Structure 1
Amino acid sequence: MNILERFSLKGKVIVVTGGTGILGKAFIKALAESGAKICIIGRSQEKADERVKMVETLGAEALAVVADVMDEDSVRKAKEQILAKWDTIDGLVNAAGGNIPGATIGPNDDLFDNKIGDTIKAIELNLYGTIVPTLVFGEVIAKQGKGSIINISSLAASLPITRVLGYTVAKHGVEGFTKWMATELALRYGDKVRVNAIAPGVFLTEQNRTLLTNPDGSYTERAGRFVQGTPFSRLGDPSELEGTLVYLLSDASAFVSGETIFVDGGFNSWCGV
């Protein structure tokens, strides 16, 4: 198999949770262009159907499934739908997650007056929302003896990012879970079952544009701090995650497992001087 063939995802069945989200859209586009068959999982049938149409315009095949990644029964039903259509699962991208507004501690808020319930919800969404799909869909991958799982970590799991307590705790958990699952799956099911993570930097999207930029297009104070801490001196674009995603799902990364790849313009590497 030559190097181009090793990067191919043609015909592989890839499940994407959070497939109706901003980063999920970039992931799905990359997978479609790579020839994969994609199961798009989200909580909105309408949005999932829109993503299916996008995939089909790119010449690939897709399935929209509505499921809650924190509900085991819901995820198991999704698995049965996928297996009924394609009879296998070759890859999983755990893209469901994000912060919860009530879990964000404002700069002028009392640190100990935060909404504990919302903080816990943020932990559950990002951590449990990764663990549940991995254990359900990952069983198919493990028992067939080949496949790749990708979790979504964050800069917050490496360097403290203020205000987002629940999100930070959850992403640390995702890092630990990634390493633990990579180890256990390899020891029990062999060297062709892999688990890795991608840690995105700060990406400018339509969803967060008003939070990161002012009406005149300049960066907000918080966005400016991220840019100042990034050697590339800019925010990222979701499309810049696509190459790393395809690499980790493909046979080109056959000896890579338990790792987190930062896609952050050098943010995690720089001390600021």
Structure 2
Amino acid sequence: MDNQFSLAGKVIVVTGGTGILGKAFIDGIVEAGGAVGILGRNAEVAEERANAINQAGGKAIALVADVMNEAELVAAKDKLLAAFGRIDGLVNGAGGNMPEGVLQPDEDIFKMNIEGMKKVMDLNLWGTLIPTQVFGEAIAQTGKGSIVNISSMNSKRAITKVLGYNMGKAAVDCYNQWFAVELANRHGDKIRMNALAPGFFLTEQNRNLLTKPEGGYTQRGELVIKQTPFKRFGQANELKGALVWLLSDASAFVTGSMICVDGGFSIFGGV
């Protein structure tokens, strides 16, 4: 019986591939037999991760680009095609929050940093859409493939302080469904788009918001744990299975979906 979960022979590009969750994404792809393009702004980390994979017998290439810069993405696409000759999948892992997109409880809600909110929203929405335009075109030329967007708990529920991030991820969900339908209208079942929605995982961006340096949770961290039925944060490697499934032929009849990997956060009513 063929292993439908295998990514052998597939070439997948991961934006945000130099981050903590990005590391889990690229490792999961390689472990499933795929070749990976590690795309991010940090050239040193991208090269380090690609070299480690290649030395261990896998296939990887570092791609340095900003997801908001179309010219840099086109150059990265050309480099990936020159190395592997095809592109079968895309993981839109780049995104996140910024200090200027945060509204603190003691700040006036009617004097929020509008430009900061726009900047965060743009990163998460257009930082997903623009790479899809660039790499999706190459996937269409291959003839078959899968695109996975990264959603968030923030997309469906009101998470305090981070309005720009909430709006950006909600827009990604809308795009995920709309574009999945349009892909199907034009390419049938050959190119699919789905979203992976992580719950709360500790990253460089949120570690200090959720945990204390001396150990234990901050007040915000305690609220997250209270709302999570599993009563813990997720571990990055727990995203691998769902991601590989969405990229593989095992999910061949799945498109426009959002898969939550969240310890039950999204379904818990708090009582």
- TM normalised by structure 1 equals 0.96
**Do residues 17 (structure 1) and 8 (structure 2) align?**
no
- Following superposition, the deviation at residue 57 of structure 1 comes to 4.1
Counterpart amino acid of residue 24 in structure 1:
G
Deviation at 1:187, TM superposition (A): 1.1
My pick for the range that moved more, 53-62 or 111-120, is 53-62
Corresponding residue for residue 124 of structure 2:
126
AA partner of residue 108 (structure 1): D
Tell me the distance in 2 between the aligned counterparts of 1:57 and 1:260. 35
5+ residue gaps, structure 2, are: none
* Distance in 1, Cα, partners of 2:75 & 2:234: 35
CA distance in 1, matches of 2:106, 2:112: 11
Q: For residues 107-126 of structure 1, what are the structure 2 equivalents within 5 Å? A: 107-126=105-124
Shift of 1:206: 5.5
The Cα shift of 1:86 comes to: 1.2
Q: 2:54 aligns with which of 53, 56, 68?
A: 56
* CA contact 2:97–2:205 (8 Å) conserved in 1: no
Q: Which residue of 1 aligns with 2:217?
A: 219
- Letter in structure 1 aligned against 2:246: L
Q: What do the CA deviations read for 1:232-270 (whole angstroms, capped 9, x no partner)? A: 111111111111110000001110000000110001111
What is the percentage of aligned positions where both structures have the same residue? 55
1:239 aligns with one of 227, 234, 237: 237
Deviates more, 1:232-241 or 1:215-224: 215-224
Q: Distance in 2 between matches of 1:207 and 1:100?
A: 8
Q: What is the one-letter code of the residue matched to 2:249?
A: D
Residues 205 and 238 of structure 1 are in contact (CA less than 8 Å); yes or no, is this contact kept in structure 2? no
- Return the match for 2:77 from 79, 82, 85: 79
Q: Deviation at 1:174?
A: 0.4
Residue 27 and residue 108 in structure 1: after superposition, are their counterparts in 2 closer, same or farther (change >3 A)? Answer: same
How far does the alpha carbon of each residue in 1:104-162 deviate from its partner, in whole angstroms, 9 at most, with x for none? 11111111222211111101111000000001111121233210000000101111101
2:267 to 263, 266, 269: 269
Q: Normalized against structure 2, the TM-score is what?
A: 0.96
The separation in 1 between residues aligned to 2:205 and 2:156, in whole angstroms, is: 24
Residue matched to 1:159: 157
Distance 1:170 1:264 in 2: 19
Q: CA RMSD for the aligned pairs?
A: 1.3
Output aligned runs, 1:61-210, within 5 Å.
Answer: 61-205=59-203, 208-210=206-208
**Distance (Å, rounded) in 2 between the aligned partners of 1:204 and 1:128:** 24
What amino acid sits opposite 2:44 in the alignment?
E
Distance in 1 (CA, whole Å) between partners of 2:220 and 2:119 is 24
Which AA in structure 2 matches 1:234?
R
Which 5+ residue runs of structure 1 have no aligned equivalent?
A: none
